[in-house]
């Protein structure tokens, strides 16, 4: 036997002895480095809430889908791309709203898509067709064919949603599948983007991370009350499109592939105390017209700068968001009665609502989803 073999046998015996020594005390009932919990008791109320939330999440997840997008390959001479020869890919979330294969997601998720694929909760993959989209609210409608026994998530009444209610945000953040976060409705009000036409969005502290876009925000009844769309940069708050707004837009997306928003063509601001004497007003109310765009509906109807609009077709206006909401939801081509104050005197005009024309970004370039503070714009056009 060579001199090295005894040393090898000694080393082997030492290793075996060390392993047995480590396992021995535990197996023989010796002291442990941790404590087993054998008498933990959960309060019945908490246990019930815990089980109900887990059961709710399990019931909803089959209706959640993963949206994968391959974007068009940019031109080879486009020097702004790091690797222009490579197609760009992105992912997002969505959910089934009809057993025929209709799926709701965000418009920015499928922006510039050359191909869209939907993966169901059971792993099945289907090519998806973009039925319609609206960048202003950030909503899109997809369709897949051939899928059987789809789980449909029902849309609830978002107007009944109250601040403080529990909600679940479902999605596929960071490429992770079937993620659920829990929180409350923290606010109902202006979203982070300027383009949204005056409708209140749902603010929540339920985590909405990259990849959650297009997923459902669900109440404890299992109803979709919103479509997750964006989050603040620090991730502390997120925003969702209210379900009632989604229900208002879906018919147009399904039949026309777009949403026709109403348009006046004015830049507007809030009326302040400083405006009372200058404009001969008695109270701070209405919407101050800062400027009128030449040739647009307001200009054709006789609206002037420094007019204060206080009503449209009987709807009382208190703030610029009121005017945005009323005008944007009025059918294009409809004649409306505009009540305004001009030099302190009430005047009525008839204005024909025009069509809002979206300001397109560069061809093939998806819009940047960098949120801004709600009070950033002072002159929102409408």
Q: Which one of the listed residues 66, 90, 134, 138 is annotated catalytic? A: 138
Q: Are 212 and 169 in contact (CB under 8 A)?
A: yes
Question: Which of 244, 85, 93, 280 minimizes the C-alpha distance to 168?
Answer: 93
- The secondary structure of residue 155, as a DSSP letter, is B
Q: Is the dihedral of CA 287, 288, 293, 295 positive or negative?
A: positive
Q: What span, in angstroms and rounded, lies between the C-alpha atoms of 121 and 61?
A: 7
Count of all residues that appear for the chain in the document: 382
Per the DSSP assignment, residues forming a β-bridge with 142 are 103, 130
Q: Which residues of 151-167 are buried (b: 16+ CB within 10 A; e: fewer)?
A: bebebbebeebeeeebb
Annotated catalytic, 213? yes
Q: What span, in angstroms and rounded, lies between the C-alpha atoms of 109 and 275?
A: 43
In sequence order, the 6+-apart residues with CB closer than 8 A to the CB of 253 are 131, 132, 133, 134, 139, 140, 141, 259
Q: Which one of the listed residues 108, 134, 205, 307 is annotated catalytic? A: 108
Q: Are 93 and 119 in contact (CB under 8 A)?
A: no
Q: Which one of the listed residues 90, 158, 179, 213 is annotated catalytic? A: 213
- Mapped onto helix, strand or coil, the DSSP state of residue 222 is coil
Biggest alpha carbon distance in the chain? 116
Question: Which of 305, 279, 163, 177 minimizes the C-alpha distance to 225?
Answer: 163
Q: Are 153 and 218 in contact (CB under 8 A)?
A: yes
Annotated catalytic, 66? no
- Mapped onto helix, strand or coil, the DSSP state of residue 268 is strand
Annotated catalytic, 108? yes
Q: What span, in angstroms and rounded, lies between the C-alpha atoms of 382 and 287?
A: 11
> Which helix (H) or strand (E) element contains residue 50?
helix 44-60
> Could you give the residue numbers annotated as active site?
108, 138, 213
């Amino acid at each position: 036997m060579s001199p090295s073999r005894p040393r090898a046998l000694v080393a082997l015996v030492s290793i075996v002895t060390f392993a047995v020594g480590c396992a021995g005390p535990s197996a023989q009932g010796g002291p442990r480095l941790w404590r087993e919990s054998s008498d933990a008791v959960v309060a019945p109320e908490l246990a019930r809430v815990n089980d109900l939330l887990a059961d709710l999440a399990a019931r909803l997840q089959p209706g959640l889908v993963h949206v994968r997008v391959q974007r068009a390959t940019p031109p080879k001479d486009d020097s702004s791309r790091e690797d222009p020869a490579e197609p760009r890919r992105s992912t997002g979330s969505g959910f089934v709203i009809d057993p025929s294969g209709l799926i709701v997601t965000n418009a920015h998720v499928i922006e510039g898509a050359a191909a869209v694929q939907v993966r169901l909760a059971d792993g099945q993959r289907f090519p998806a067709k973009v039925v319609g989209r609206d960048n202003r609210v950030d909503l899109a409608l997809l369709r897949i064919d051939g899928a059987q026994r789809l789980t449909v998530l029902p849309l609830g009444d978002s107007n009944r949603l109250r601040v403080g209610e529990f909600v679940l945000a479902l999605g596929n953040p960071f490429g992770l599948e079937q993620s659920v976060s829990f929180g409350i409705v923290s606010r109902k009000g202006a979203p982070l983007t300027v383009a949204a036409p005056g409708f209140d969005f749902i603010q929540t502290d339920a985590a909405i991370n990259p990849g959650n876009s297009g997923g459902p925000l669900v109440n404890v009844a299992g109803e979709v009350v919103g479509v997750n769309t964006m989050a603040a940069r620090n991730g502390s708050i997120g925003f969702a499109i209210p379900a009632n707004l989604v229900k208002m837009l879906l018919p147009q997306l399904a039949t026309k592939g777009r949403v026709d928003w109403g348009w006046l063509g004015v830049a507007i601001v809030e009326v302040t105390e400083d405006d009372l004497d200058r404009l001969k007003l008695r109270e701070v109310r209405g919407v101050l017209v800062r400027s009128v765009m030449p040739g647009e509906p307001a200009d054709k109807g006789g609206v002037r700068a420094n007019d204060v609009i206080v009503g449209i077709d009987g709807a009382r206006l208190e703030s610029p968001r009121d005017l945005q909401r009323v005008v944007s939801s009025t059918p294009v081509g409809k004649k409306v009665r505009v009540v305004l104050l001009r030099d302190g005197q009430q005047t009525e005009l008839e204005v024909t609502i025009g069509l809002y024309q979206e300001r397109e970004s560069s061809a093939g370039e998806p819009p940047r989803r960098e949120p801004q503070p709600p009070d950033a714009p002072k002159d929102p056009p409408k």
